[in-house]
Structure 1
Amino acid sequence: MTDPPADARASAAAAPPHRDVPGRRAEYGGARPNIVGVHLYLRRADGRILLGLRHPDVAYAGGSYHFLAGHCEDEGALGALIREAEEEAGLTIAAEDVELVHTVHLLHPGAAGGPPRIQLVFRAHAWSGVPEIREPDKCLEWSWQHPADLPEPIVPYARVAIEAIGRGEAYSEMGWG
């Protein structure tokens, strides 16, 4: 048996092994980029957390309760969180008052070829403003809910994150089989 040419060995060594996942994109060497979502875990002194009821016509999880959330655009995760809090609910949050409390690495079941998502859940220890509906086409109401008695329906990964935060766990995975 002969050794493969040196250039073949180098490219094989440079490429990390991975399982064949539908939807891999060739322009990223077969890997799929992950979408980064930011989520606000806002907890009052009485222990209740802020959740929004999503409009039934939104693309994802219409009619379900969820965190105040959004995606990173051309900004870092903290900047996205601060922007989303202002845009969606009129809340002002300072970066120094925020800590990362949970991460969910998510592959939606049944989303063949859909991109994986990293869902970052941040807790704000201080904020100003009262939650108001600023995007009525996306959110119908804001309400303060007790983590031990969450409303239904709720976005499944939001439930996983809330329960994990209650146990002091920093990381969860969903949908990876």
Structure 2
Amino acid sequence: MSFVLVPASYVYLLREGADGTEVLLQLRQGTPYMDGHWAAAAAGHVERGETAYDAARREAAEELGVTDVGLEFAFTMQRTQHAEAIDERVDWFFTARTWAGEPRVVEPEKCAEIRWCPLDRLPEPMVPHEAYALAHLFSDTAYLTFGWQA
């Protein structure tokens, strides 16, 4: 049995709203993973030869139509969905408060809508590991794990 590690980058665009910090989220649709759940407005696998930063910039352009994203590294998450570590994920999470262009749904076949949501009142249902990530966004924790029993 082989071991697979799947890398991905996530971008949380942030802005100050009337009631505090808001994050831009997407409602997933038409995908094989977590349809009907809220998730980062821009995220995806890191491709061969690409850095996590490059993947984050590419995903922001492909999924939201924004460029010149002022990425700030938030943390890395290692996660699994199995009792044995066969298919594990490593996720790099970034935030950005500056970008060029107006965020919009570029891939309507994968995204039903995007919405600015207060960080302290996230919509339901959320992709579970992303809800966990957003709960730790300003914790100064550089490394998180998800999916292992305590």
Fold match, TM over 0.5?
yes
Greater length-normalized contact order (CA 8 Å, ≥ 6 residues apart): 2
**2:7 aligned with 1:50:** no
Higher helix share: 1
Task: State the distance in 2 between where 1:38 and 1:88 align.
Answer: 13
Counterpart of 1:49 in structure 2: which amino acid?
Answer: V
State the partner residue of 2:137: 165
* Identical counterparts, % of pairs: 33
**CA pair 125-60 structure 1, distance change in 2 beyond 3 A:** same
Counterpart of 1:139 in structure 2: which amino acid?
Answer: C
State the partner residue of 1:15: none
Residues 82-101 of structure 1 mapped to structure 2, 5 A cutoff: 82-94=57-69, 97-101=70-74
Given candidates 37, 43, 53, the residue that maps to 1:78 is: 53
Task: State the distance in 2 between where 1:109 and 1:158 align.
Answer: 18
Task: State the distance in 1 between where 2:53 and 2:97 align.
Answer: 14
TM-score, length basis structure 2: 0.88
> Is the 1:93–1:124 Cα contact (8 Å) retained in structure 2?
no
Aligned with 1:117: secondary structure?
A: strand
Higher strand share: 2
Structure 1 stretch displaced more, 142-151 or 74-83: 74-83
Aligned with 1:58: secondary structure?
A: coil
Gaps of 5+ in 1: 1-23, 26-31
> Is the 1:85–1:93 Cα contact (8 Å) retained in structure 2?
no
State the partner residue of 2:108: 136
**CA pair 172-63 structure 1, distance change in 2 beyond 3 A:** same
Kindly name which structure, 1 or 2, has the bigger radius of gyration based on alpha carbons: 1
Aligned with 1:133: secondary structure?
A: coil
* RMSD between aligned residues: 1.7
Gaps of 5+ in 2: none
